[in-house]
Amino acid sequence: MKILIIEDEKELAESMIAYLRHESYTCEVASTFNEGLQKIETSDYECIALDITLPGGSGLKLLQELKNNNKSDGVIIISAKDSIQDRINGLKLGADDYLVKPFHLSELAARINAIIRRKVHNGNNILSFNEININTLTKEVTVQEKILELTKKEYELLLYFISNQRRVISKNALVSHLWSYEMGSGSSVDFIYTHIKNLRKKLQEKGSQDYIRSVYGMGYKMTD
């Protein structure tokens, strides 16, 4: 699966590629408006991560170009601007999602996964990890075909883990995924522990193996 990253900050683009490569995505990078334009005109991508402020022009113009050419590439805008108006502008032009800088790579991966699920695997909304299956359309979770009842946050947590399977996810990334940034960091990220404990307990009760591991108290990893 091909992903295009249009981002002028090379360091950031490199990190994004390094993380996404693990998910068996092929990544290409464009660092200017013109480079991006050339790439979207010549090939198709499953998903494009698009920065708005680019040397040579606005990312929103590229988005418009894409829609004018009736391309169905999924687009996630990555912007430092987080006002409602910026989001609305982006989504109105046909972007599938809007991610505000700074973000965690796990968040980016989860959102790109979601876009690709919707765009590419049309109809196939099942996300799996060994015996655990999630139907992202009905939001139903089954373990060995037994239905697992989860709270909304536990469901989001599990989805996030499966989207970032076999990776270490920091507590900060989990907290900012589940709650807004305004909650604060430091000691307050610790209460995520309770939720993960509950999720693990529920999974095991239905006969799942214990896949979620703590990484020295600073993060978690879902791995077999």
User: Considering only residues 3, 4, 12, 159, which one is a binding residue for another protein as defined by CB under 8 A?
Assistant: 12
| Six-digit token string for 41 | 């005109």
Instruction: Give the contact letters, 161-200, x = binds to another protein (CB under 8 A), - = no.
Output: ------xx-xxxx--x-xxxxxxxxxxxx-x--xx-----
Closest CA to 168 of 122, 221, 224: 221
Site residues (CB under 8 A) for another protein, limited to 52-71: 53
Smaller CB distance to another protein: residue 71 or 195? Answer: 195
Residue of 95, 105, 116, 148 that binds another protein (CB under 8 A): 105
Q: How much helix, strand and coil, in percent to the nearest 5, is found in the chain?
A: 45, 25, 30
* Number of residues in contact with another protein under rule CB under 8 A: 49
- The CB-of-78 to another protein minimum distance in angstroms stands at 8
Task: Give the nearest distance from C-beta 219 to another protein in angstroms.
Answer: 6
218 binds another protein, rule: CB under 8 A:
yes
Residue 67 token pair: 């829609």
Q: How many Å apart are CA 95 and CA 193, to the nearest integer?
A: 34
Among 34, 61, 91, 103, binds another protein (CB under 8 A): 103
| Rounded Cα gap, residues 199 and 207, in angstroms | 13
Q: Establish if 84 lies at the interface with another protein (CB under 8 A).
A: yes
Measured CA to CA in angstroms, residue 130 lies from 207, 208, 210 at distances of 12, 9, 12
DSSP count for the chain of H helices, then E strands? 8, 14
Per-residue x/- mask for another protein, residues 124 to 163, rule CB under 8 A? ---------------------------x-x----------
Question: Quick check: helix, strand or coil at residue 88?
Answer: helix
Residues 6+ apart with CB under 8 A from 109: 19, 20, 23, 163, 164, 167
Q: Rule CB under 8 A: which residues touch another protein?
A: 9, 11-12, 15-16, 18-19, 53, 80-84, 100-106, 151, 153, 167-168, 170-173, 176, 178-189, 191, 194-195, 215-219
